[in-house]
Every structure is written in C-alpha cells, then in structure tokens.
Amino acid sequence: MYAELKVEFDSNEINFQQSSNLQGVLMENISSEYAEKLHGNQLNPYSQCILKEEGKTIWYLKTLNTEAYEMLLLPMTKLDTITLRKKNKTVNLLNKTVRIKEDKELIKEFYENKCSRYLELSFKTPTSFKRDGKYVIYPDLSLIYGSLMRKFSAASEEFNMYDEDTLEELVTQSEIAAIGAVDSPVVKDVKTNLPMIPGSSLKGKMRSLLAKEFNEQITEPKGDHERISRLFGSSEKNKIKRSRLLFSDMVLANEQELREAGLQSMTEVKFENSISRLTAVANPRQIERVVRGSVFELDLIYEMENEQEFIEDMQTLAEGMKLLQYDYLGGSGSRGYGKIQFNNVHAEGVIGNVDNILIDKCNEILKEVVNA
C-alpha cells in the first residue's frame, strides 16, 4: 500500500533546509527496533519533504509499504506539535490529512488510463544523484530510471523491477526532448538512423492483448493466465519464469524500395492540434510517424522446454499476432495509426533436433495469422 500524510505547519519560517531536522523528529517518534532496521536499509520505504503551497508551509510524509505506514506514518498523525531541536523551535501541526492507495488501485490505473508518451518531470526540492561515488549535477535518463526502479523494488514485497537489461532498454527507448522538438519521435537504429520497432514494444503489446483475451479480470502480470506467463515469462519474486520467446528488434527493411518510390525520408511529421471544449485552449503537437508501406523483419526465437506444450504455445502466439492485427502498434490507434499485417510467417528448427511433424503443425497454425 502507498500512503501520504499532508500536514500544515503554523510557521512560515520553516523551509526545505529544515528537512534533515524533520528526519530527526521521525526517528524520535518510532520504535528503536524499527529505527535500527531503517538505518540498515540501503533504500528506505518512505520519503519526506517541505513545500510552499499557496503561502502555506506543508510537510509531506509518504510511505511505500504497510509496515512503514504503521510504524512511521501513523505515529505522526497522533502528534499535535513537534520540536526542531537544532532550531529550539516548537511547531504546531495543523490540518492533517492522510491518503491511501492500494496496489490494486495503482495497477488498475496503469491498465485502464491512457498514458502519454511525453512526460514532464519537475524537481520540487533539491535533488542529488551519484555515479561512481561522485555527485552528478545534471542527471541523465539512466540515473533517473535507475533511481525509480530501485525505489520500487525496495518497496515492493513481490516484484524486483531493477535489472540492467530493463534499465538499458528504457534508456535506449527514451530521450530528453528540447522545447519545440517533436513530441513523439520515432525510435531509430543508432547505427543506420532508420526507423526501428523495439522487440520489447511488440512483446509488451502482444502480452497486454492476450491478457485481455485470457485473463478473467484485470490483474498484475503475476496473475496472468498460465498460457501467457509460460510463453512471456514472469518476474514474480521467488517464482521467476524465464520467457520462452525472444523478440528481435526490427529495423526498416525496404528503404531502397521506398526511396525508389520518391521518398526522401523514412519518417514523416504530422502536426496535430487538440482544443479544450471548456477553455478553447489549443494544444498543438508534432507526431513523427513511420511512412505507410514500411516493412520490418521480425525474428522470433522459441525455446522448446516441453514438447507437450509446444503446440498450445504456438496457438497462443498465433492468437496474439491475430489480435495485434485487429488492434494497433504504437500510439494513436484510434486515429488510424499503427495498423500492421504479418506476412511470410513460417517456422523452422535452428538448434537441436525438432520433429518435422511439430514444425509442420506449427506452420499450419501460423498460416492462420496471414489469412486472418
């Protein structure tokens, strides 16, 4: 569970520079056993800060799991005053409010709410990052993502989000955009500068569509149907399943054909504008798109662990590919973007001995994708 305590101070003399003093207040009002436990943690399941809002001094205390809520936040709700010992100042606590959000609510918001690919990150208090033991003045994406992933993993009792491959994938597929730049740029291969579809994007989209098809209710990935988790893997703590499918990145394969058709660029920028019905305020944006007729080559590697499950796995994969053809890849699908078609789909054994009968059955299943 995630909880937030919001407290108004009766003094405007306190600012963010007194945050360390408030850390001392927290430690004074919790059990010595829990204080010792927090002292031994590399990352603590809470944060606190002081902000100025509408001329008022507000103290926020946020906890990231049930234990921190019960041991740290709840004791603060019972206080009417606190004393900043280094300042020898007593402060009255006014208008205390607590907000709680359960894990299921957060997951539901993630799956049901439409998220923008363009995010604005604001640092509300002084922030520091370190690399190799030295402070970094301007954080890069690796430091930002890495900090968030480690914080989530430290708070979660079930998931470990942090790993080097995931971090590298996030950094590769993101960039810090300058003001006035294209809002949603196309991912490009760093070597050729040609448009590229990350294998992770295809895998994630296909898994989410299969989850809607097979799962009985909206759930975290750990609750996915057995056919899905068996094929795509699971990162649930103590029950990690390795993915049987490896999705390659797909770089544009028909550049020459498109250039012979008269195209000078392999992408296009479309200017769009949304207008608020309530305020009539315009929100112009620039969307970069892969041009119509682009072809990308995909390699899928399947690791056969159980011949008895192979055919069912291929049926699940084919179902995911068909669902993706009915849906869309990328963003703005409701406006006609991202319609795709799988062509020339076939399977063959590459390492080890695979029964030709199984390969033939697999190809029969995959033919249904092309004919869908």
Q: What is the DSSP string of 134-160?
A: EEESS--HHHHHHHHHHHHHHH-SSB-
- Does the pLDDT at position 178 exceed 80? no
What's the whole-number mean pLDDT along residues 292-310?
90
Residue 293: pLDDT band with limits 50, 70, 90: very high
Separation between Cα atoms, residue 323 and residue 372, nearest integer Å: 10
Domain 2-101 CATH class label:
alpha beta
Strands in 208-307 per DSSP E: 245-247, 250-251, 267-275, 282-290, 300-302
> Which residues, at least 6 apart from 101, have a Cβ–Cβ distance to it below 8 Å?
1, 2, 3
- Which two three-digit tokens encode residue 28? 């004074």
| Per-residue pLDDT, 105 | 81
Separation between Cα atoms, residue 353 and residue 129, nearest integer Å: 51
Separation between Cα atoms, residue 303 and residue 328, nearest integer Å: 27
- Does the pLDDT at position 135 exceed 80? yes
Return the domain boundaries, the chain: 2-101, 106-118+177-371, 119-176
Closest CA to 69 of 6, 122, 4: 4
Per-residue pLDDT reduced to its tens digit, 267-286: 988 887 778 788 887 777 78
Residue 159: pLDDT band with limits 50, 70, 90: low
Contact 72, 3 (CB under 8 A): no
Higher pLDDT, 88 or 296: 296
What's the whole-number mean pLDDT along residues 182-188?
79
| Per-residue pLDDT, 89 | 83
Separation between Cα atoms, residue 266 and residue 192, nearest integer Å: 12
Higher pLDDT, 146 or 236: 146
- Does the pLDDT at position 257 exceed 90? yes
β partners of residue 289: 268
Where b means 16+ CB within 10 Å and e means fewer, 306-341 reads eeebbeebbbbbbbbbbbbbebbbbbeeeeebbebe
Closest CA to 326 of 193, 205, 179, 182: 205
| Per-residue pLDDT, 215 | 85
- Which two three-digit tokens encode residue 299? 């390699």
Residue 100: pLDDT band with limits 50, 70, 90: very high
Higher pLDDT, 11 or 248: 248
With H, G, I as helix, E, B as strand and everything else as coil, classify residue 195. Answer: strand
The fraction of the chain above a pLDDT of 90, given in percent, is: 28
Range picked from 162-166, 233-237, 238-242, 334-338 for highest mean pLDDT? 334-338
Per-residue pLDDT reduced to its tens digit, 193-244: 999 999 988 998 999 999 988 887 777 777 788 888 888 888 777 777 888 9
Our CA dihedral for 245, 145, 329, 103, rounded to 10 degrees, sits at: 80
- Does the pLDDT at position 22 exceed 70? yes
| Per-residue pLDDT, 157 | 64
Higher pLDDT, 150 or 236: 150
| Per-residue pLDDT, 290 | 92
Residue 35: pLDDT band with limits 50, 70, 90: confident
Contact 248, 268 (CB under 8 A): no
293: left (phi over 0), alpha (psi -120 to 50) or beta: left
- Does the pLDDT at position 296 exceed 90? yes
The structure's pTM equals 0.53
Q: Phi and psi dihedrals of 80, rounded to 5?
A: -105, -25
CB neighbours of residue 100 within 10 Å: 12
The fraction of the chain above a pLDDT of 70, given in percent, is: 94
Query: Of the given ranges (81-90, 102-111, 139-148), which has the lowest mean pLDDT?
Result: 102-111
- Does the pLDDT at position 114 exceed 80? no
